[in-house]
Each structure stands twice: as structure tokens, then as C-alpha cells.
Amino acid sequence: MRFMMFMYPEITEEEWQPDAEAFAAMGRYNEELRKAGMLLSLDGLHPPAEGGVVTFRGGDASITDGPFAEAKEVVGGYWLIQARSLEEALEWASRCPGENCRIEVRRVFELEDFPEELREAAAGV
């Protein structure tokens, strides 16, 4: 099973002043995930001011520049891990050296979670 762990910093961009120690702690945590054979990928994201949003009203797409949301609702980064249960993923998330943030843990859909006709549609068969 795969789980996405979304990190939501609960501080603003200006308040975010990470020091070397916090970086090192996060590095150790990531290393631990890797050594446990759980880590599939991870990334940190630039702030929303440097991003943009594509909104669909009906079928029409329109583009808005960032920033675009409350700081609390902005994903700051993610880990994609392989775990054997939701509980295991949650346990790993709670070991993150986080401060003033929350981590949302969500299970990734597998192809098998969809009925066969949708799978075929997705494959473009």
C-alpha cells in the first residue's frame, strides 16, 4: 500500500526561518524512512506565490497566479511511502520532527481499487 503524507506548515512564509538544526533533523528523518525501505519519493514545494492555479468553471480552464489560499491550507511538501497499514503510515508521520505543522496521511488509489471498465477507460483501450 502506498500513502501520501502531505505536510501543511501552520505558519506563514515569512515566519518560516528554518535553521541548520531543523534541516538536519528532517534529513535524519528522511534517512530513517529510506533505511526502513519505506520511502518512495519526497519533495518540498516552493511557496504558492511562485505557483499558480488553474480553475475549471464548467469545462473552461482559467489561470490565476498565486498566492491563492490561506497559509494553513497550503501544502509545503510531501512524502510518498510504502506502508503495510494506515496505522503504520500514521506512526511514521508522527515520528517526523515537525513543529507547528500538520501532516495529512492519505492512501494512494491502486488500479485494483477501480472497476475493470474504468481501468480500461483510463488505459485508453
Partner 1 sequence: MADAGRAIEAVWRIESARLIAGLARLVGDVGLAEDLAQDALVAALDTWPAAGVPENPGAWLMATAKNRAIDRLRRQAVHGRKLEELGRETGAIFALERSEFEAAVDDEVGDDLLALIFTCCHPLLPREARVALTLRLLGGLTTAEIARAFLAREATVAQRLVRAKRTLREAGVPFEVPRAAELAERLPSVLEVIYLVFNEGYSASAGEDWVRPALCEEALRLGRILAELAPQEPEVHGLVALLELQASRLRARRGPGGEAVLLANQDRSRWDPLLIVRGRRALERAEALPGPLGPYGLQAAIAACHARAVGPEETDWVRIAALYDALGQLLPSPVVRLNQAVAVGMAFGAKAGLELVAAIEDEPALAGYHLLPSVRGDLLAKLGRTEEAAAEFRRAAAMTDNAAERDLLLGRAERA
Name the residues that contact partner 1, by CB under 8 A. 1, 34-38, 40-41, 80, 82, 84-85, 87-88, 90-92, 110-112, 116, 122-125
- Which of residues 14 and 110 has its CB atom nearest to partner 1 in the complex? 110
Cα 95 from Cα 103, distance rounded (Å): 11
39: exposed, middle or buried (C-beta count within 10 Å: 0-12, 13-18, 19+)? middle
Q: Considering the complex, what minimum distance in angstroms separates the CB of residue 64 from partner 1? A: 29
- As given in the structure block, the three cell numbers for residue 78 are 510531501
User: In angstroms, rounded to a whole number, what is the distance separating the alpha carbons of residues 125 and 123?
Assistant: 5
The residue (of 53 and 121) whose beta carbon lies closer to partner 1 is 121
> Least CB distance from residue 80 to partner 1, whole Å?
8
End-to-end CA distance of the chain: 26
In this complex, which beta carbon is closest to partner 1, that of residue 43 or of residue 70?
43
Least distance (Å) from partner 1 to the CB of residue 15?
A: 26
